[in-house]
Structure 1
Amino acid sequence: MMKKLICFNVLVLMLVLLAACSSSTGGKQTIEVALWDENTKEAVNASIKAFNEKHPDVKVNVTYTPWADYWTKLKTSIGGGSGPDVFWMNGPNFYQYSTQGLIKNLEPFIEDDSDFSKDIYFPAVVDLYSLEGDLYAAPYFVDAVGLYYNKKLFDDAGLEYPNESWTWEDIEEVGMKLTDPENGVYGYVAHTVQSQSGYYNLMHQAGGYIISDDKTKSGFNTPEAKEAFNFIQNLIDKGISPSTQTQIETKPEQMFMSGKVAMLPRISVSAAELEGELGEELGVAPLPKGKKEASIVHGIGWAMNEKTKEQDLAWELIKSLANEDGNRVIAESGFSIPAIKGLSDVWKESLPSLDLQIFIDAQDTGVAYPVSERTAEWQDVETAEIQRAFLGQQTIDEALEKIGTKMDKILEEEQND
C-alpha cells in the first residue's frame, strides 16, 4: 500500500512539473497592454498582428478600461508591482508617472535602435512626453480643438456656415439665431465640464494662459480668465448654451449628434464618431477667436511599465504601435491625426467630407496642453471650483480666485520639491 501511495505522489509531482514546464517554456510569453478607447481597436490589433509576424510566440492581451476608471486602476496595479507592460499615457499624468519611477525612460532603447527616430514626430508631442530631453512615451497620435457644426440646422435657419474669420461675437450672434427653446435646440455648447474642448481655449483666446511658461503661476486669477468665463456665463444665461447641470446630465456630444446642438467645440478625435452619426450634415471650422486665435493641442503616447519583466519585447511592441505602419493604420481609421508629421494627409483622406486641415494646422499654431508635475492635483481643484460656480454655489470671481490661490501653492511646492 505504501509503495502505491509513493508511486501516486511521484506521478502527481511529475504531472505538476510537466504542467509548469509547459506554461513557462512550451507556452507563449505574454505582453499586457492597456488603453481606454475601444474606437482604436482595429488599428491597435493591426499593429499587434504586425508585431506577432516577427514574434509569433508572444501573446498580446489588450485591456480597454473606461476613462473614468483607467488611471485609478493603472496606478493601483503598477503600485502593487504588476500592471500592464505597455499602456497609454496622457499629458496631465505624465510628470507624475515619469518622476515617480512608474514608467521607463525610453532613451536607452532609442539610442540602441536605428529603426526609431524622434525626428519624424510632431515636436509638440515629443516635448510633451520628454523629461530633461529624454523620451518616456512613444508618440501615437495628436489632437487639436475645432468647431463642429450641424449643416442642416444652419441651412434650415438660412445662415452661412462658420469660417476662419469668426470671433466670439459671431458665436453669440449666430448662436442666438440657431437657438430654439421650443424644440430644445441650443446654438452652441459653452463647455464648463470639459476643459480641453472648452474654457482652456477661451482663456488663451482672451490673451491669458492656464499655467505660465515657467510653470510657477496660475492663469485663473487674472482679468483674461474672468473675461473668458464671463463669456461662457453670458451664453448660458441667454440660453444659447446648455447649463452646466444639463451638460452633466447629458454629454454635449450626445446632444450634438441628436440634433439638439448646432455648434460644438471638440477635439479632432471626435471627427470619425461625429461623421458616422451625422454624415454629410457635419461640418468643421477653426475655433472662433477672441483677442487672438488659440486651439489646445495634445497627444497620446505609448509608455512602458518600469517593472515590466519583458522590456525588450515591450519595446518591440511599442515600436510596432508607434512606427510609420502603426501611425498609418490609426490615420486610416479616421480616429485622429497621426503623430508622424508626414502621414497627416492619410488622416485627411480618411474623412474627405470634412476640412480636417484645420486640426493639422493647429499643430503648428496651437497652444500646448498645460502640464506640470502635479497637473492632476490642481486640475481636481479647478474642476470642483468651476462646477460649483456654474451650479450657483459661488460666483465666478470667487471660484477663479480660489483656483489661482490653490494652484499657485501647488506650483510653489513643485518648485521646492
Structure 2
Amino acid sequence: MKATATAILGATSAMVLALSATCGSADVTIEVGYPYSALFDVTFEKIMPAFNAAHPDINVEFRSTYEQYEDGTNTVLREAVAGTLPDVTLQGLNRQAILVDKGIAKSLEPFIATEADFAKDGYHQAMLDLGTFNGAVYGLPFAVSLPVGYYNMDLMGKIGVTEAAQLPKTWDEVVAACGKLKEAGVENPLFWGWNITGNWFVQALMWSQGEPILVGNDFNLDSDAGLVALNTMNDMFDGCDMQNLSVSEAATPFSAGDVAMYFWSTSSVGSVERSKGDFTLMTNEFPGIGQAPKGLPAGGNAVMMTSTSDDAEELAAAWTFIKFITSGEGAAAVAETTGYMPPNKAANDLLADFYAANPNKETAVRQAGLLREWIAYPGNNGLAITQVIYDALEGIVTGEYDDMEELQEELSEEVQDLLPH
C-alpha cells in the first residue's frame, strides 16, 4: 500500500517537474522544495504554466517533496550543513523561526524595498506577521489553514442530522453524536487529527480556551486549560472508539464513506472532494470546549529564500518566483486546488464566484477571525518536543494512558526539561 502510494505521488511530482521544465532556454535556474505532494502537486500544476508564460527566462526545478513539515525542516537543516540548500523552500509556519535563528533563511526586506507597490499588493497583515521576525519579513505566507469538521451527511442523517445548523458545536456534542451513530450501526463514527504535524490539534484545544501552549519558555499544558485539553481528547477517543490511524491512512475510511465525522485541516478539502465516494460532504466550523472556540492556530506554510548564491540574477529570480506564487493569482490557485485560505487579499475578487460554487472550501474563511499563532517550541530541542507530545497523545489513543492528571504531570516535566532555561 505504502509503495503504491509513493509511486503515485512520485509520478505526480514528475508531472510537476515536467511542467516546470518547459523553459529549456531559460537564462537562470532556481531550485525549490515544498511539502505534501498529495496536496500541492496539483497546485503547482495550475501555477507553473502561468509562471512560465510570464517569466520564460526563469527555469524552476522542483526537488523531491518533503513528507511533512518536520521532514522539510530537518531536510533544510541537513542541506545547510552539506552546502546543498535550495533557492526557495516552503516551510511550516511554526518551523520558520529555527531557520531564521540559524541564519539559513534570508531576510526578504531588501527585495521588498525594491517593490514600489508591495504594501498595496494585498497581503493580509495578520498573515504577513506570521513570517516576520525582529521586525523583518523572512517568509511570505503561501497557504494558510485552520482546523474544520468534515461530515458524511448520509451517515449523519441516520441520527437525524441533515443540515449545518444541527452539526455538533462542542466536543461534548461530538461524543454524544458518536454514541447515537454507533447505535445506528456506524462502526467508526469519528477520526480526530491528533497526529497532524506540529501538535496542531493540541494547540487548537488550548487556543479554543484562549490559552497558548507556551507562555515564554514555560509549557502551558501544565495548567487547568491543559488538563481540560487532555481530558477532552481522552473522552473523545474513548467515547467514539476512535481507531489509531496514521496521517497517511486517516482520510481513507472517511473518503470511502465509512466514517461520519472527520476533524482535520481545511487544507485537505480539495483532495477529499476528489477522492470521496458517493456521499454528500459538508464541512463546518471546528467545535469548541463548551462554547465556540476563542481562537485557533494558523496552519499552513510560508515561502522562504534559502539560496546561498552570490549571483544577483539568481536571487532576483528566486524573489520573482516567491512573489508570483504568493500573489493574487498564486493565492487563488492555492484556494481552488486545496482548501487553504488565500493569504493575499488580491485573491478575494478572483474567488467570489468560486466560493459561492464551492461552499466546503469557504468554511475556514468564515473562521479567519480566530487566527492565532502556531507556536514553535524554542531552542535546539523543538523537534524533539514535538515528538514527545506526539508519543503521549498516541498513548491516549491506544489506551496506554487513562489518568490524565498523571500524564499531564509526566509530560509537562519531560517537555519543560527540553525547553531552554
Smaller-chain TM-score bracket: 0.7 to 0.9
SS in 1 for 2:212: coil
**Of 371, 374, 384, the match for 1:369:** 374
Show the counterpart of 1:360: 365
Cα offset, 1:84, TM superposition? 1.1
Q: Does 1:224 align with 2:234?
A: no
Query: Counterparts of 1:401 and 1:348 in 2: how far apart (Å)?
Result: 48
Cα offset, 1:150, TM superposition? 0.4
Query: Counterparts of 2:274 and 2:49 in 1: how far apart (Å)?
Result: 26
Q: Does 1:123 align with 2:125?
A: yes
Show the counterpart of 2:20: none
Show the counterpart of 1:398: 406
- TM-score, structure 1 length as denominator? 0.81
The runs of 5 or more residues in structure 2 that have no matched partner are 1-24
Query: Counterparts of 2:185 and 2:290 in 1: how far apart (Å)?
Result: 34
Q: 1:125·1:339 contact (CA, 8 Å) conserved in 2?
A: yes
Show the counterpart of 1:10: none
Change (3 A) 1:392 1:331: closer
SS in 2 for 1:120: coil
Q: Does 1:285 align with 2:284?
A: yes
Letter in 2 for 1:380: Q
Give the RMSD, CA atoms, in angstroms. Answer: 2.9
Q: 2:297·2:373 contact (CA, 8 Å) conserved in 1?
A: yes
Change (3 A) 1:370 1:162: farther
Cα offset, 1:335, TM superposition? 4.1
SS in 1 for 2:144: strand
Change (3 A) 1:72 1:50: same
Q: 2:206·2:213 contact (CA, 8 Å) conserved in 1?
A: yes
Counting only pairs closer than 5 Å after superposition, residues 9-408 of structure 1 correspond to structure 2 as: 28-38=27-37, 39-53=39-53, 55-68=55-68, 69-117=71-119, 120-163=122-165, 166-179=169-182, 184-186=187-189, 188-194=190-196, 198-206=201-209, 208-212=211-215, 215-238=216-239, 240-243=240-243, 246-248=244-246, 251-278=249-276, 281-292=280-291, 293=293, 294-309=295-310, 310-344=314-348, 346-347=350-351, 349-350=353-354, 352-374=357-379, 375-394=382-401, 395-408=403-416
Change (3 A) 1:51 1:277: closer
Which shifted more, 92-101 or 355-364?
A: 355-364
Letter in 2 for 1:198: F
Change (3 A) 1:299 1:349: farther
Change (3 A) 1:249 1:300: closer
Q: 1:280·1:353 contact (CA, 8 Å) conserved in 2?
A: no
SS in 2 for 1:117: helix
Q: 2:159·2:184 contact (CA, 8 Å) conserved in 1?
A: no
Q: 1:146·1:287 contact (CA, 8 Å) conserved in 2?
A: yes
Q: 1:32·1:85 contact (CA, 8 Å) conserved in 2?
A: yes
Q: 2:186·2:259 contact (CA, 8 Å) conserved in 1?
A: no
Q: 2:26·2:59 contact (CA, 8 Å) conserved in 1?
A: no
Query: Counterparts of 2:96 and 2:87 in 1: how far apart (Å)?
Result: 16
Cα offset, 1:346, TM superposition? 4.3
Q: Quick one: percent identity of the two aligned structures?
A: 21
Cα offset, 1:402, TM superposition? 3.0
Show the counterpart of 2:16: none
Change (3 A) 1:89 1:224: same
CA offsets, 1:163-192, max 9 Å, x none?
Answer: 487222211222211126966332x22443
Query: Counterparts of 2:203 and 2:52 in 1: how far apart (Å)?
Result: 41
Show the counterpart of 2:10: none
SS in 1 for 2:219: coil
Cα offset, 1:282, TM superposition? 0.4
State which structure, 1 or 2, has the greater radius of gyration over its C-alpha atoms: 1
Letter in 2 for 1:331: A
Cα offset, 1:390, TM superposition? 3.9
CA offsets, 1:208-227, max 9 Å, x none?
Answer: 43122xx3321211222222
Which shifted more, 225-234 or 47-56?
A: 47-56
Query: Counterparts of 1:252 and 1:46 in 2: how far apart (Å)?
Result: 26
Q: 1:143·1:359 contact (CA, 8 Å) conserved in 2?
A: yes
Change (3 A) 1:84 1:324: same
Query: Counterparts of 1:207 and 1:137 in 2: how far apart (Å)?
Result: 26
Change (3 A) 1:29 1:406: same
CA offsets, 1:359-405, max 9 Å, x none?
Answer: 11322223321224344342122112332344344443333223323
SS in 2 for 1:338: coil
Q: 1:88·1:302 contact (CA, 8 Å) conserved in 2?
A: yes
- TM-score, structure 2 length as denominator? 0.81
Change (3 A) 1:119 1:262: same
Q: 2:158·2:184 contact (CA, 8 Å) conserved in 1?
A: no
